[in-house]
Amino acid sequence: MTLLRLNLCGEGKSWYLHLKTPEALKSELTVDEPFEMFDRHMLAQNSVVRLAEGETFDIGFWPDQSDSFMFYDLDEPDPVIYVIANRIYVEDSAGRRYRVKNDARCIDRLFDGEPT
């Protein structure tokens, strides 16, 4: 199974986070490589998580990352208005979503200053 991203939902809004940061590219580049760096396929290949049958995936978040769990609606006249995620799903390469176990409790702990 290939997991693409972490989907966050709250109050009718939806946004996502990458499951892992794309791997750093080597520092010396050939002439053609800067164009390849921005190739969407290459980015996707470096930011997905592949799981074998029956394998689980654990990811942790720290209180200083809590702003990633808030959606700021920049279309609103007052951008201070934000939505806090109340559901977390993992999305696979086929577009199927899987709800994260104990997601609401983990979000509460994150905003209480505890690592999740």
**Residue pLDDT, tens place only, 21-70:** 655 544 565 666 655 555 554 555 566 777 888 888 777 787 888 888 88
CB 18 within 8 A of CB 68: no
Domain ranges of the chain: 2-111
C-alpha Rg value of the chain to the nearest Å = 17
Residue 102 φ/ψ region, left for φ over 0, alpha for ψ in the -120 to 50 degree band, beta for the rest = left
2 pLDDT higher than 60: yes
**Residue pLDDT, tens place only, 79-89:** 666 788 899 89
CB neighbours of 49 closer than 8 A, spacing ≥ 6? 2, 3, 19, 20, 57
